[in-house]
Structure 1
Amino acid sequence: MGREETADVDHLMKDNPLAFTPSVTFQAMLNARATHDRGLSASQHLEPVEAYLSGQQTIDWQALGLQGIADYVVRMATPDAESLAQRLPELPTTVIHSLCYCLEHQPLQQPLVVALQRCGEAAAQVGDIETLCACLRAVGNTDTSAVGDWYTALLNDSAACGPDVLAAIAGRGWGYLEDAQRLPLFCNA
């Protein structure tokens, strides 16, 4: 294959199920995790994200880099999680989505789980299913009874439990479906 034209190789790999490009968020999280685990410094985008999310600096949220958000999430310590939990209701929806898409890749601390649940419930009240699902996915990798209770409450509420909510729960919170009460609710929803 080394002698074939590049276009031919690209054509052969087009339909190969093993050849794919991960999402931009997943790439950012992979980079953040790898640099952190190897003891390397974070990207240049971390500092503005830290300043914005801590409330120390009021910058345009559109100037925040996704890599900076991923670096922040991977390096988040307890005080950062508590600060973020308090600041979460003030953040624009787009920032919440980006945060949630990064947060879903690791376990969270209790104050942040509670804040994300409140954020998701507030979003559901105004019909913002995308934010609700992002919050559901963000907490799905965290082992706490609060997440299981939230999932159970949603599964019991037929009005709130549409296909997007079911997909969010199954996508990241599948471990919570290994429950004798929750699994039948999920299957019958």
Structure 2
Amino acid sequence: MQIDTLSEFLTQAGTDFRLFDLGRRLQPLEQSDFAAIEAGRRPYPWPLQRHAWLAVCYWQQNGGQPYVWFLKIPLDERGLFNNAAVKHFLSALVEQLGGDIHAPLTDEQQQQLADTPFTFQPAQDKLAAFHARLSLALKHAPSAYYQGAVDYLTTPASQHWQQLGLQGLADVAARLHSDTALANTVQQHLWQLPEPVQQALLTQCEHHPLPAPLAKAMIEAVSAEQERQEPNEERIALLLRATAGCAPFKARSAKLSSLMSLQPGQPLLLTMAARLWQDLTDEALLLQYLTLLADQHGELFNGLFAELVSVPALRPLILANLHNPELPAPLKQAFGNLFAATHG
């Protein structure tokens, strides 16, 4: 039996499945969009290091244990799937199943598949965010750590934070956009939490949409940090990253522009490329960002340029400005150096 795509395999095997991207941050991927990507009709929307980082959860339609694959699929220079890599993985998969795609995988077979070059192990924070979002998508109960996290966030002084589980905080973050009371509780107590708890919760927030008041409070916290005698750039980056699950909004875009005018260090620039690239679809913000990179952080320019130009939402905008005569001199020079290195 010839099976060329993951969707074909999962469908013919009689499974239901959900897809998520785990590259820059956790994002759900619709099956219809994925089918178009597999067919080569569109590039992968969130490439990272020329790969698609996928979480695939599937289960038999008549019930049974869900399985999860974490797949790292190479992309070509246009951002399209490397179909040879996908077929290689599927060939190994069908071999494990003895040619019967309807056969359930044993734990040993799952482990053997995990040893292929097309799988990866997510970082713990992304893994926790994934399980939290998946339980919501499948209408399952949150983890056993959830209620303890809610109780602690409601009355932080009443118990020791060391007893909290990361998965509980991930379950909280995943529900903030739909649970107004929970979001209000978090906003009320967030800045009084011990630093490790605050940092873990903010890190989880970046993987999910947030209510507008909470996202705005995080931008206001950036302003408060700026007013300190010695602002912590890592904390500013953490607060901005926490809003990454929200579509670009005016307060964040304005804050990013004002921060860049202050000649910031690497934490902000790396955060913008890795998490807040959607804000760079604003051409003025994009050119401000690239100019700052070229003028103050030339050592980062080539690598971050390569990452940004690989993002389909940014690529046309960047390419359209490569020969813009109005570009600032540092950016023109950086582009020139880049072309010289490319054409060697």
Settle same-fold status: TM greater than 0.5. yes
Determine the structure 2 residue equivalent to 1:156: 261
| Paired residue type of 1:69 | L
1:118 deviation in Å?
A: 3.0
Q: Which residue type is aligned with residue 252 of structure 2?
A: V
Answer yes or no: is the 8 Å Cα contact 1:140–1:147 preserved in 2: no
On the 8 A contact 1:137/1:168 being kept in 2, the answer is: yes
Q: Which amino acid aligns with 2:258?
A: A
Q: Is the 8 A contact 1:88 1:119 kept in 2?
A: no
Q: Contact (CA 8 Å) 2:152, 2:158: kept in 1 or not?
A: yes
Runs of 4+ in 1 over 6 A off after TM superposition: none
For residue 44 of structure 1, report the CA deviation from its aligned partner: 1.1
| TM-score for both structures, normalised by structure 1 | 0.84
Residues 183 and 214 in structure 2, CA contact (< 8 A), matched pair in contact too: yes
Instruction: Report the 3-state secondary structure (helix = DSSP H, G, I; strand = E; otherwise coil) of the residue aligned with 2:183.
Output: helix
Other-structure match for 1:94: 196
Q: Give the C-alpha shift of residue 13 in structure 1.
A: 4.4
Query: Secondary structure of the equivalent of 2:236?
Result: helix
Which structure shows the higher strand fraction? 2
Q: Is the 8 A contact 2:225 2:232 kept in 1?
A: yes
Residue 43 (structure 1) aligns with: 143
Report the Cα offset of residue 57 of structure 1: 6.0
Residues 233 and 265 of structure 2 are in contact (CA less than 8 Å); yes or no, is this contact kept in structure 1?
no
Matched, 1:128 2:228: no
| Aligned partners of 1:86 and 1:115 also within 8 Å | no
**Structure 2 residues without counterparts, runs of 5 or longer:** 1-91, 97-107, 293-344
The range that moved more, 179-188 or 115-124, is 115-124
Query: How many pairs align?
Result: 179
* Structure 2 residue 252 is matched with structure 1 residue 147: yes
| Cα distance in structure 2, aligned partners of 1:118 and 1:58 | 28
- CA distance in 2: counterparts of 1:156 and 1:24, whole angstroms: 34
CA distance change for structure 1 residues 65 and 81 in 2, over 3 Å: closer, same or farther? same
Aligned to 1:75: 175
Deviation at 1:79, TM superposition (A): 2.1
Larger radius of gyration: 2
Q: Is the 8 A contact 1:117 1:136 kept in 2?
A: yes
Among candidates 264, 269, 274, match of residue 171 of structure 1:
274
Contact 2:215 2:243 in 1 (8 A): yes
Structure of higher RCO (CA pairs closer than 8 Å, 6+ residues apart):
1
Cα distance in 2 between the residues matched to 1:119 and 1:58: 25
| Separation (CA, whole Å) in 1 of partners of 2:201 and 2:170 | 8
Q: What amino acid sits opposite 1:138 in the alignment?
A: A
- Cα deviation for residue 96 of structure 1 reads 1.6
Match of 2:48 in 1: none
Is 1:108 aligned to 2:213, yes or no?
A: no
Which structure shows the bigger proportion of residues in helix conformation? 1
Q: State the partner residue of 1:60.
A: 160
TM-score using structure 2 length: 0.48
| Local SS of the residue matching 1:139 | coil
The amino acid across from 2:270 in the alignment is A
Q: Provide Cα deviations, 1:153-172, integer angstroms capped at 9, x if missing partner.
A: 111211xx211111112211
Does the CA contact (< 8 Å) of 2:218 and 2:239 recur in 1? Answer: yes
Q: Give the alignment's Cα RMSD to 1 decimal.
A: 2.3
Identity of aligned residues (%): 27
| Structure 1 gap ranges (5+) | none
| Structure 1 letter corresponding to 2:279 | Y
